[in-house]
């Protein structure tokens, strides 16, 4: 499990018991010299089981799949931008278009959102159109 942010540590605040701090030195001396026996130390608390933490670590990270999807989407958008620039510059190759088709096809199996599937269909159709244009020119 990954921890992305933590809150800053704050110093412990002193415990207030309602007494004022205006005691005299004689009060302190009498308290120190009194014959009160020291209290026994508190019993040690049992160690809490960390089994629950281990089980939490084994759960898949819900955000990891979303991060991967965003990364794949960014890669696809970068390739579309490269093709756009190549179209404007007149240097579009069949290899780039074929690669875009391959990426769009590979993403289709990972997507279950109908709107995103429609976008992938449009990308695929546009790539087919561009390949057909290139085949007519050659």
* DSSP letters for 62-126: HHHHHHHHHHHHHHHHHHHHHHHHHHHHT---HHHHHHHHHHHHHHHTT---HHHHHHHHHHHHH
- Could you tell me if 94 and 134 are in contact, meaning their C-beta atoms sit under 8 angstroms apart? yes
Identify the residue with better confidence: 35 or 71.
Answer: 71
Closest C-alpha to 97, from 65, 137, 68, 67: 137
Percent of the chain with pLDDT over 70: 62
pLDDT at 66: 77
List the domain boundaries for the chain. Answer: 63-137
Beta-carbon count within 10 A of 100 CB: 21
Residue 69 has pLDDT above 60, yes or no: yes
Please give the Cα distance from 109 to 93 (Å, whole number).
26
What is the chain's mean pLDDT, rounded? 75
pTM for the complete prediction? 0.47
């Amino acid at each position: 499990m990954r921890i992305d942010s933590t809150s800053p540590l704050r110093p412990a605040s002193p415990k207030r018991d309602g007494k004022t701090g205006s005691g005299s030195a004689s009060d302190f001396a009498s308290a120190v010299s009194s014959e009160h026996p020291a209290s026994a130390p508190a019993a040690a608390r049992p160690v809490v089981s960390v089994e629950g933490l281990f089980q939490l670590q084994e759960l898949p990270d819900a955000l990891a799949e979303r991060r991967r999807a965003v990364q794949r989407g960014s890669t696809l958008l970068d390739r579309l931008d490269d093709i756009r620039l190549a179209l404007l510059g007149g240097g579009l190759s069949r290899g780039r278009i074929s690669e875009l088709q391959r990426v769009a096809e590979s993403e289709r199996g990972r997507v279950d959102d109908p709107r995103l599937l429609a976008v992938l269909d449009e990308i695929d159709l546009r790539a087919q159109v561009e390949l057909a244009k290139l085949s007519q020119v050659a």
